[in-house]
Structures are given as structure tokens and as C-alpha cells.
């Protein structure tokens, strides 16, 4: 009895000592530093919040010590699509704050401005959203965990032409992802027999959709193909389409997943019903991984939005960063990180993902989805899938 007690007592004391030593080791080493660049303020702050929440949920689930090394996240605000600010923030994070890796980045122009900075400094840059095809060609230190517009809209072009949509008018935001969307939707759609009857590029900041909607109504296409950055703009466009009677005329809205993203979908109301989009993530995606992700997201932010396509990019980006740290036993050295991420594969809440080692871009399933009301909620219901889609833009 007393011997047993002594052994148990010693084992407990040793366990405590082990824990203290482990804690000391973590404290003795400098933390790994990750610079997270997002538009935390300004008109796109809701999307930055989505991405920040995606990062936070991952860290909450997996802790902030990876392979014995503390991971510190340094957050910086670009205030929107501001390439000069993004570039300066990346430089400061690298030179002054000594980050090991840069991540985040909602907007293409910001990612393009950061690319030469990470090349010169030899720092890995994990893109969690910015989705113009060309970005990954701008630095060998870039790996993308989000999506590309050509990857998402090409399947939709083929699907639309084969499903009764013959004439399409395209309306896209006048910058990288909009141009990519317009070009690649048109290519897939016309190759499958569809006809483009008009196209317009609208300003990235504060577009007023009324004149465009009026013009489209006069032309009477079967559908309008849309790319707008996620968030408020798709909501405003839908409102104009209702007010001007575009939908009442039977003209349909189709587009990339940004058009019906989950953060704003509920607020769009019944006019969103029947809108067809193609995308890599839906909150309504049915899988055990997504059920667990949604549950963790909602538990962490009970008053927050539903996780959307930008939140999943951030969550998966963080998972990839943690995997790279583990693979290097607590380090984030530049070239080994890129070498590791080039062949990274994971089961994401969106479905299976992998990185194409040739392009350092993501390969994933793209789904065609329809907005429906299910159990009282507006959701994008996936009904057709295209596995292992690469970025056709490169
Ligand atoms: C981009 O700038 O690459 C971008 C921004 C918002 C989106 C999609 C792409 O919803």
C-alpha cells in the first residue's frame, strides 16, 4: 500500500517536472511569427472578420504551440484593396517584426504588391483568399490555399450551356478576378455552344448597379453571369435586379460563389432563391469534416456570421501552416516550408484539397450549387461536382 503510494507520488512528481521542462523549453525559444494581412477596417471588414475567425477557430482547435514551438500571429490592417499599404505592411512585418511567414490577403492587388517583397526576403507567403490566377506566378514563395476564379467559373460555363442557358450577359468587377472570371466563363460557355450577348466591367469601389441592370433588361439575355467581390456588392446588385424587374422578366443570375456567399446570403432574402453559382465551399456542404468545422465556428462565434468561402480559405491556410511547422519539428524555414507545401494534401471541410507542385496552386472539387430554403435557412445546395479541378489559367 505505502509502496504503491510512493510510486504513484513519484510518477506524479515526474509528470509535473516533465510539464515544467516542456513549458520552459517553449518559453526559452523565440516564438514562430506569422504575419496576417487583412482589410480589418473599411468596407470589406466583414470579410476580414470571416478570415480572422477562420484562423481563430483553427488555433482554438489545435492550440498555439506546434511541435513544441509557440506560434504568434501578428495582425495588420490594409483598410481595403490598397497595394501600397499591403507592401509596406509586409516589409515591416519581415524587417522589423521578424515574421517567418506572411499570410492572409483578401485582395488580388495586395497579393501582387506583396509578391516581390517575399521573393526578395525569401519568406513563404500562404494565400488565404486572393484569387486571380496569375498571383502564384509572381513569386516562388507563394502557395495558395483558397481558389482561383478560372478554376471556379469554368465548370459553370459548361454547365450553363448544357442546361438551357443560351445567351449570357457578363457583369464583372473591373480588376484581376473580374477579368479572369469574364474570360474563363466566356471560354467554357462559348466552347459548349453558348453565346455572349454583352459584357460590362464595373468599378471595384462603390459601383451603382442601376444603369447596368436597366441596360441588361433591355437586351434580355437568358442569364447574367456575375463576379463581384463577396460581401455587400452582390446584395446591392440583387436589390437592383429586383427593383428594375430583371428577375421578374425571367432573366436569371448565375456566377462564382462570391455572388451568394454564406456571410450575406440570409440577408438577400427570397430573391436569391434559384440563383446558380459554382464554388469550392458551401456552409451546407454535407460531410463530417464540414459539420465539425461549422459547429466549432458557431461555438466560437455564437453571434457571428455563418462561415463563408473566405473563412474556409483562412482555416485551411492555417492548417497548412501548422502542418509545415510539424513537418519541420517546430521550424518554419523558407525553402523547406515551400517544398513541404508543394505536395500538401488534406481533407478540408470543403472536400479533398491538394497543392499542384508545378504551380503551387490548389487543386480541389468545384460544385455547382443552387440557392434553396432548407429548414427555414437560405443555403447553397450542391447538386453537381467536378473533382480535382486545377487552375486552367496557367
Ligand atoms: C480578390 O481580390 O482576389 C478577391 C476578393 C474578393 C473575392 C474574391 C476574390 O470574393
CA–CA distance, 235 with 264 (Å, rounded to integer): 7
C-alpha to C-alpha distance for 315 and 56, rounded to whole angstroms: 8
Written as nine digits, the cell of 88 is: 509596406
- As to burial, measured by CB atoms within 10 angstroms (0-12 exposed, 13-18 middle, 19+ buried), residue 145 is buried
Q: How confident is the model at residue 394 (pLDDT cuts 50, 70, 90)?
A: confident
Contact 353, 346 (CB under 8 A): yes
- Beta strands 195-202 and 142-144 are unpaired
DSSP, collapsed to helix, strand or coil, labels residue 388 as strand
CB atoms within 10 A of CB 327: 15
Of 57, 52, 50, the C-alpha closest to 37 is 52
Position 286 scores a pLDDT of 98
Ligand 1 center to 177 CA (angstroms):
6
- Point out the ligand 1 atom lying closest to the alpha carbon of residue 230: 10
CB of 104 closer than 8 Å to CB of 363: no
Pocket test for ligand 1, best of 108, 150, 256 (most atoms within 8 A of CB): 108
Whole-number Cα distances in Å, 155 to 185, 195, 302, 386: 8, 16, 35, 7
Residue nearest to atom 7 of ligand 1 (CA): 229
Q: What is the 3-state secondary structure (H, E, C) of 162-201?
A: HCCCCEEEEEEECCHHHHHHHHHHHHHHHHCCCEEEEEEE
Instruction: Give the three-class secondary structure for 72.
Output: strand
Mean pLDDT of the residues in the chain: 94
Question: What DSSP letter does each residue of 294-355 carry, written as one string?
Answer: HHHHHHH-TTSPPP-HHHHHHHHHHHHHHHHHHHTTS---HHHHHHHHHT-EEEETTEEEEE
Cα–ligand 1 centroid distance for 230 (angstroms): 7
Residue 130 Cα: closest atom of ligand 1: 3
Ligand 1 centroid to residue 393 C-alpha, Å: 16
Residue 16 has pLDDT above 60, yes or no: no
Q: CA 21 to CA 63: how far, in whole Å? A: 18
| 8-24: average pLDDT | 55
Q: Name the band, by pLDDT with cuts 50, 70 and 90, for residue 190.
A: very high
Cell of 287: 460531410
Q: Which residues contact 57 (CB under 8 A, 6 or more apart)?
A: 293, 296, 297, 300, 311, 315
Give the ligand 1 atom nearest the CA of 310.
10
What pLDDT is attached to residue 1? 41
Distance between Cα 13 and ligand 1 center (Å): 54
Which atom of ligand 1 has the smallest separation from the CA of 258?
A: 10
Mean pLDDT within 185-191? 98
Q: How far apart are the CA of 10 and the centre of ligand 1, in A?
A: 58
Q: Is the pLDDT of residue 265 over 90?
A: yes
Q: Please, which residues have CB within 8 angstroms of residue 125's CB and are 6 or more apart in sequence? A: 101, 102, 103, 111, 114, 115, 118, 139, 141, 142, 143
Q: What is the mean pLDDT of residues 80-105?
A: 98
- Whether the per-residue pLDDT at 9 is higher than 90: the answer is no
The pLDDT, as a whole number, for residue 24 is 54
User: pLDDT tens digits, residue range 94-123?
Assistant: 999 999 999 999 999 999 999 999 999 999
Report the nearest atom of ligand 1 relative to the CA of 81. Answer: 2
Nearest residue to 68 (alpha-carbon basis) of 323, 325, 316, 319: 325
In this prediction, residues 173-198 reach a mean pLDDT of 98
How confident is the model at residue 15, as a pLDDT? 57
DSSP state at residue 359: T
Measured in Å, residue 129 CA sits from the centre of ligand 1 at 7
What's the whole-number mean pLDDT along residues 350-378?
98
Query: What pLDDT band is residue 77 in, cutting at 50, 70 and 90?
Result: very high
Of 12 and 326, the structure prediction assigns the larger pLDDT to: 326
Lining residues, ligand 1, CB within 6 Å: 106-108, 130-132, 177, 229-230, 258
Smallest CA separation from ligand 1 atom 8, residue: 229
* Closest approach atom of ligand 1 to CA 106: 5
Please tell me the distance between residue 43's alpha carbon and the centre of ligand 1 in angstroms.
13
CA of 198 to the centre of ligand 1 (A): 23
**Nearest C-alpha to atom 3 of ligand 1 is from which residue?**
130
Instruction: Please tell me the residue having the least CA distance from ligand 1 atom 2.
Output: 107
Cα(78) to centroid(ligand 1), Å: 14
Predicted confidence at residue 26, as pLDDT, reads: 53
Question: 10 Å Cβ neighbour count for 38?
Answer: 30
- Phi/psi at 371 (5° precision): -75, 125
Instruction: Give CA–CA dist 141/240, Å, rounded.
Output: 42
pTM: 0.93
- CA–centroid distance, 175 to ligand 1, in Å, is 10
Out of 39, 83, 106, 113, give the residue to mutate to test ligand 1, the one with the largest number of ligand atoms within 8 Å of its CB. 106
Largest CA distance in the chain: 93
Atom of ligand 1 nearest to the CA of 261: 10
HSE (CB half, 13 Å, CA atoms) of 217?
Answer: 16
* Distance from Cα 69 to the centre of ligand 1, integer Å: 33
Amino acid at each position: 500500500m505505502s509502496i504503491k503510494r510512493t510510486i504513484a507520488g513519484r510518477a506524479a512528481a515526474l509528470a509535473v517536472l516533465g510539464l515544467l521542462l516542456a513549458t520552459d523549453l517553449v518559453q526559452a525559444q523565440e516564438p514562430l511569427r506569422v504575419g496576417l494581412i487583412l482589410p480589418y477596417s473599411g468596407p470589406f471588414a466583414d470579410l476580414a472578420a470571416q478570415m480572422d475567425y477562420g484562423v481563430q477557430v483553427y488555433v482554438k482547435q489545435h492550440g498555439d504551440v506546434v511541435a513544441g514551438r509557440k506560434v504568434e500571429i501578428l495582425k495588420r490592417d490594409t483598410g481595403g484593396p490598397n497595394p501600397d499599404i499591403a507592401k509596406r505592411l509586409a516589409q515591416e512585418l519581415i524587417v522589423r517584426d521578424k515574421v517567418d511567414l506572411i499570410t492572409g490577403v483578401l485582395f488580388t492587388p495586395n497579393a501582387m504588391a506583396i509578391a516581390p517583397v517575399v521573393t526578395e526576403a525569401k519568406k513563404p507567403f500562404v494565400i488565404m483568399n486572393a484569387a486571380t490566377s496569375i498571383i502564384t506566378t509572381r513569386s516562388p514563395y507563394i502557395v495558395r490555399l483558397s481558389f482561383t476564379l478560372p478554376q471556379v467559373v469554368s465548370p459553370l460555363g459548361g454547365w450553363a450551356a448544357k442546361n438551357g442557358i443560351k445567351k449570357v450577359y457578363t457583369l464583372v468587377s473591373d480588376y484581376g478576378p473580374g477579368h479572369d472570371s469574364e474570360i474563363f466563363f466566356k471560354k467554357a460557355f462559348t466552347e459548349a455552344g453558348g453565346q455572349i450577348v454583352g459584357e460590362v466591367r464595373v468599378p471595384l469601389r462603390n459601383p451603382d448597379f442601376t444603369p447596368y441592370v436597366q441596360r441588361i433588361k433591355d437586351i434580355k439575355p437568358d442569364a447574367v453571369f456575375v463576379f463581384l467581390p463577396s460581401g455587400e456588392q452582390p446584395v446591392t446588385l440583387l436589390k437592383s435586379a429586383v427593383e428594375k424587374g430583371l428577375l421578374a422578366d425571367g432573366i436569371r443570375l448565375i456566377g462564382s460563389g462570391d455572388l451568394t456567399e454564406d456571410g450575406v446570403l440570409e440577408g438577400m432574402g427570397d430573391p436569391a432563391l434559384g440563383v446558380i453559382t459554382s464554388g469550392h465551399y458551401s456552409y451546407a456542404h454535407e460531410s463530417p469534416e464540414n459539420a465539425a468545422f461549422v459547429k466549432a465556428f458557431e461555438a466560437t462565434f455564437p453571434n457571428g456570421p455563418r462561415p463563408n468561402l473566405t473563412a474556409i480559405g483562412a482555416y485551411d491556410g492555417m492548417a497548412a501552416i501548422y502542418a509545415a511547422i510539424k513537418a519541420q519539428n517546430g521550424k518554419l524555414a523558407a525553402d523547406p516550408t515551400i517544398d513541404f507545401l508543394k505536395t500538401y494534401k488534406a481533407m478540408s471541410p470543403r472536400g479533398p484539397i491538394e497543392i499542384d507542385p508545378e504551380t503551387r496552386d490548389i487543386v480541389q472539387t468545384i460544385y455547382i450549387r443552387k440557392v434553396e430554403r432548407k429548414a427555414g435557412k437560405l443555403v447553397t445546395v450542391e447538386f453537381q461536382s467536378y473533382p480535382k479541378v486545377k487552375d486552367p489559367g496557367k
